[in-house]
Amino acid sequence: MNEALHQLPFTKQEELQNITKLLSSMKKVEMVILFGSYARGEYVEDTYVEKGILYE
């Protein structure tokens, strides 16, 4: 299991750290699992709009 975040863009690293802190303040967090294109290192910095919703 890869526990490093260095392969992610800095903004995503910060977001994950903030989410982990928030969850930890509510309950004991044993693990946060990242999956999808970010976990595989296949992400693309892109945005698009679908049905009026902005996806980043």
Whole-prediction pTM: 0.55
Greater model confidence, 26 or 7: 26
Range 4-15 average pLDDT: 80
pLDDT tens digits, one per residue of 22-55: 888 887 777 778 788 777 777 777 777 778 887 7
Residue with tokens 């260095």: 6
Task: Say if residue 2's pLDDT is above 60.
Answer: no
Task: Say if residue 1's pLDDT is above 70.
Answer: no
| Domain residue ranges of the chain, discontinuous segments joined by + | 10-55
53: which strand partners? 50
DSSP letters, the chain, are -----TTS-HHHHHHHHHHHHHHHHHS--------SHHHHT------EEETTEEE-
